Structure 1
Amino acid sequence: MNTSISTSRAVQFAQSFGGPETLELRTVPVPAVGPGQVRVRVTAAGLNPMDWFMTSDADAAARFGLNLPCGFGNDYAGIVDEVGDGIAHLFTVGDRVFGGAFSRSVADHVVVDAPGHIGKGGDIHHTPAELDDRVAATLSIAGCTAAAALAVVNPGPKDTLLIGGAGGGVGVFAVQLARLTGARVIGTGSATSADALRALGAEPVTYGEGLAERVRELSPDGITATLDLHGTNTIAVARELGVPDSRMTTIAAVVEGITPANGASAAPGAIEEIARLAAQGRLRVPIAVSFPVQEIRAAVGRQASRHVHGKVVIDLA
């Protein structure tokens, strides 16, 4: 048990929800640990689009059950600082760990349930020895979401998979995990993302008007499955190309007849497998840029611009 400190830093919305300009780095009490919980000294926190989407205004925050003052961020990596009663057999002080802490990961300390769930109680997993904390801090939300989406369509060596928004945070994982199944992957993105998509193993195609024709040119034998990781446009194109609804999924929209996916529905063990693949070098997580926590507003602005190829990470060590 660490009793040497009583306060730490946390990025919070103190007065109102909103854009990056409303975020503050505040001094707060170190969170207390209860039975079945672990406190983590955070070294790095990865940003995701959902972080700012669900805190962009009061109405969005209310839909996710968030109230002021409210923390920020979901993905973290760090070192176990304190262990609550009943779980000493699972974690010990000094263990390197990673996971998710719902809307509170960008802080010196987070308390999560053990082993927990990606939802509001948070979750925690042992970090493989070969895995850097910055990379571990990017895995939880995007990795679990990609795994859940792929589980819906279940790709394999005989599939040609069309992934809409393949260059985004979830797409980075989805493309590579799909390729590991032996599937061929065609990924939509901007013209500037083509090289990044090729590096992940996807065949790039520019999104927008005429997408169906461009996909037909790339794959005259057709598309067998589709992930839409941005909205619904790729779903519409896939239907035009004859992909059955049963082999399509979305993560950011609801479409009648399509089974949606989210990180909370990922199969048990999915995130541990993703961490193992990353540690082995079989799954590459590009880190676009890292910021010190004092520059949280600039970091969130960069991430929210959607013009970054790779993950944005906050350093707290």
Structure 2
Amino acid sequence: MQEQQKGRAVQLDAWGGPEVLDVREVPVPEAGPGQLRVRVTAAGLNPMDWIMTADADTAARFGLSLPAGFGTDYAGVVDQVGDGVTGYAPGDRVFGGALSRAVADYVMIDPADGNAANEAHHTPDGIDDLTAATLTIAGRTALAAVGVADLGPGDTVLIGGAGGGVGVFAVQLARLAGARVIGTGSPASADFLRDLGAEPVAYGDGLADRVQALAPKGITAALDLHGTETVETARELGVPDKRICTIAAQVEGVPAANGATATPSDLAELARLVATGEIRMPIAATFPVDKIREATELQAARHVRGKIVIAL
């Protein structure tokens, strides 16, 4: 009897922080009907990865149980195609989402599922796998947030958390829509934000005064990608709630966005923009899979400019 192939996967037996993450040898599954097996080459980290595995209540809301995997964004190559799957063949480069199981040598995907956390998209020429692994969660979320704000020429938008994974996409999408962008960040991130096309402003006490000094005629929209400071500032400056959007906090009267509301065609268009160089995603750091704890600690500190990617 032939021995079953083995691969690596990051798993956890208890909810908690980076200290519960382990790299293990696991059996490689066979693609069943309607499934793709993808050989993962890169997995991008997001705040939601460690947030949803931090405690039992949050994990339950995402349908997770122990033992669990880790990470959602992936890129790689189709390795095996199950019966009934069309549009994919072994050797095709793909990227997408695999909820809390992406940091592994292999992931199983049901491409007909239509679920943002179980999807595969063809990777366009011009995008390497490290970059493709940053697109799904942050890209979907940025697309949804910019869509809620309905940005266009004549808008001046304040983006809170502009240097993070979602912020990097949101700044560039807003600029492509014709909006002027003011982005919050630490003083050390000012040059990084300018390079993206945003006018930097330091977060913290006095934010409204600093924004008003940059935009004496006012701002017309705001995206709060971190907490509520940008929401409060936008309201203080007279922005109506319907033109404010949050992704990480719920504020009564303010619309919230999440990546599930972005369509596959939206994500395909974002990938095209990255492939053509109209949008770029800076990669702050790349780690081998055996350094998953260190990578997650760095990501969880929330001071990274761009994205952290695990190479497999």
Normalising by structure 2, we get a TM-score of 0.97
Selected match of 1:22 from 20, 23, 30: 20
Counterparts of 2:26 and 2:216 in 1: how far apart (Å)? Answer: 59
Please name the residue that 2:114 is paired with.
Answer: 117
What's 2:55 paired with? 57
Unaligned runs of 5+ in 2: none
Are the equivalent residues in 2 in contact too, given 1:148–1:267 (CA < 8 A)?
no
Deviation digits for residues 233-263 of structure 1, max 9, x if unmatched?
1111101101011111100111111111000
CA distance in 2 between partners of 1:128 and 1:55 (Å): 31
Equivalent position to 1:100, from 93, 97, 100: 97
CA contact (8 A) 1:5 1:30 kept: yes
1:36 alignment partner in structure 2: 34
Alignment check: 8 A CA contact 2:4 2:27 kept: no
| Structure 1 unmatched runs, 5+ | none
Which residue in the other structure is 1:222 paired with? 218
**Residue 249 of structure 2: aligned partner:** 253
* 8 A contact 1:13–1:24 mirrored in 2: yes
Equivalent position of 2:77 in the other structure: 79
Deviation at 1:35, TM superposition (A): 2.0
Shift of 1:62: 1.9
Q: Secondary structure at the match of 1:187?
A: strand
- 1:20–1:297 contact (8 Å) kept in structure 2: yes
Q: Which residue of structure 2 aligns with residue 131 of structure 1? A: 127
Which of 298, 304, 307 is the matching residue for 1:308? 304
Contact 1:73 1:106 in 2 (8 A): yes
Name the SS of the counterpart of 2:66 in structure 1.
coil
What is the deviation of 1:115? Answer: 4.2
Cα distance in 2 for residues equivalent to 1:226 and 1:115: 35
| Other-structure match for 1:187 | 183
Distance 1:228 1:91 in 2: 38
Following superposition, the deviation at residue 60 of structure 1 comes to 2.0
Question: Structure 1 residues 83 and 140 mapped into 2: Cα distance closer, same or farther (>3 Å)?
Answer: same
Cα separation, partners in 2 of 1:292 and 1:242, compared to 1, 3 Å: same
Report the secondary structure of 1:278's partner residue.
helix
Residue matched to 1:159? 155
Q: Where does residue 11 of structure 1 map in the other structure?
A: 10
Cα pair 2:159 2:182 within 8 Å, conserved: yes
Secondary structure of the residue aligned to 1:259 is coil
Instruction: Report the alpha carbon displacement of residue 84 of structure 1 after superposing the two structures with TM.
Output: 1.4
SS in 2 for 1:144: helix
Residues 149-203 of structure 1, C-alpha deviations (whole Å, 9 max, x = no match): 1111110111001101111110000000110111000001111111111010000
Instruction: Output the CA distance in 2 between the equivalents of 1:214 and 1:4.
Output: 64
3-state DSSP of counterpart to 2:120 = strand
CA RMSD of aligned residues (A): 1.3
Is the partner of 1:313 in helix, strand or coil? Answer: strand
Aligned 1:232-271 pairs, distance under 5 A:
232-271=228-267
Aligned-partner residue type, residue 103 of structure 1: S
User: Shift of residue 97 of structure 1?
Assistant: 0.4
Letter in 2 for 1:55: T
Question: Is contact 1:212–1:237 with CA below 8 Å preserved after alignment?
Answer: yes
State the Cα distance separating 1:118 from its structure 2 match.
4.4
**SS of the residue aligned with 1:76?**
strand
Distance 1:81-1:5 versus aligned 2 partners, 3 A rule: farther
